[in-house]
């Protein structure tokens, strides 16, 4: 299929311990297209293979077989260094456990992806402040992660994910460690980013409730897509 989609997965297979006795096939041929500006949720129980799929979409891992084209770039034949660059430029990660660097301030955390992209100091700072303001964290930007609440940390993490203007935001259980009220504000930020700025967002979750909020729900079970529902 000739594609204009943001994410194009074609017959993705992922095997671990290949050619060994304990060889394990986690994904059995997944094909999925996600278009620009979509808000898609990938739902599955633990052990369904959704984390493995997320790792492949986030280019933290390579598929064993199949084609993955992200924003027009084929991932299969890219070198490690190119993969780092693509991750840096095209993908904004939001993790369940925030994964902020604890020794530095919120501001420095948001600047980090831009640092690896080679953005000059002054511009880095301006952009970081801009995105922190967007998530309502500008007044606390000089605080270190230890001095922030869970919801605040996740908002900093979202600002960090946005800092290089990525093609997609990949959120792995972003509200998993938060109480429902705080989780709500985080989901609101995602909706706002998707609605107002047309950001492509992929939400990985096991919560059917959260998935219901998104535009399309892809359900994974035993390494296969079992249902796909557009709302």
Q: Are 43 and 210 in contact (CB under 8 A)?
A: no
Does residue 223 touch other proteins according to CB under 8 A?
no
Q: Which stretch binds other proteins (CB under 8 A): 27-35, 91-99, 128-136, 210-218?
A: 91-99
3-state secondary structure 9-50: EEEEEEEECCCCCCCEEEEEEEEEEECCCCEEEEEECCCCCH
**CA distances (Å), 168 to each of 35, 93, 133, in order?**
10, 9, 20
Cβ-based nearer residue to other proteins, 60 or 76: 60
Cβ-based nearer residue to other proteins, 98 or 190: 98
d(CA 57, CA 207) in angstroms, rounded, equals 20
Report the residue from 88, 154, 200, 219 that binds other proteins according to the rule CB under 8 A.
88
Minimum distance, C-beta of residue 4 to other proteins, in the bound complex (Å):
25
Q: Which stretch binds other proteins (CB under 8 A): 6-14, 32-40, 57-65, 202-210?
A: 57-65
Cβ-based nearer residue to other proteins, 199 or 217: 199
Does residue 80 touch other proteins according to CB under 8 A?
yes
Q: Which of 194, 216, 162, 161 is nearest to 41 (CA)?
A: 216
Minimum distance, C-beta of residue 103 to other proteins, in the bound complex (Å):
5
Report the residue from 33, 37, 55, 143 that binds other proteins according to the rule CB under 8 A.
55
Structure tokens at 115: 């640092």
Q: Which stretch binds other proteins (CB under 8 A): 101-109, 130-138, 183-191, 196-204?
A: 101-109
Can you give the binding site for other proteins, defined by CB under 8 A? Answer: 55, 58, 60-61, 80-81, 84-85, 87-89, 93, 95, 99-104, 112-113, 115-118, 120-121, 160, 164
């Amino acid at each position: 299929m000739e594609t204009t989609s943001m994410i194009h997965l074609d017959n993705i297979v992922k095997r671990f311990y290949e050619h060994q006795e304990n060889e394990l096939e986690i994904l059995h041929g997944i094909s999925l297209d996600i278009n620009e500006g979509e808000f898609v949720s990938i739902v599955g129980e633990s052990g369904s293979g959704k984390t493995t799929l997320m790792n492949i979409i986030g280019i933290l891992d390579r598929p064993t077989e199949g084609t993955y084209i992200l924003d027009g770039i084929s991932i299969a034949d890219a070198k490690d260094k190119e993969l780092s660059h693509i991750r840096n430029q095209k993908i904004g990660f939001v993790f369940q456990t925030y994964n902020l660097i604890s020794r530095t301030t919120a501001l420095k955390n948001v600047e980090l992806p831009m640092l690896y992209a080679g953005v000059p100091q002054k511009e880095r700072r301006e952009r970081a402040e801009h995105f922190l303001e967007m998530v309502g964290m500008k007044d606390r930007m000089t605080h270190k992660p230890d001095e922030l609440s869970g919801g605040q940390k996740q908002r900093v993490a979202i600002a960090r994910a946005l800092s290089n203007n990525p093609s997609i935001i990949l959120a792995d259980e972003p509200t998993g460690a938060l109480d429902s009220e705080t989780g709500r504000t985080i989901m609101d930020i995602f909706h706002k980013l998707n609605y107002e700025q047309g950001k492509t967002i992929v939400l990985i979750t096991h919560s059917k409730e959260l998935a219901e909020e998104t535009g399309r729900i892809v359900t994974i079970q035993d390494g296969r897509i079992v249902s796909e529902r557009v709302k």
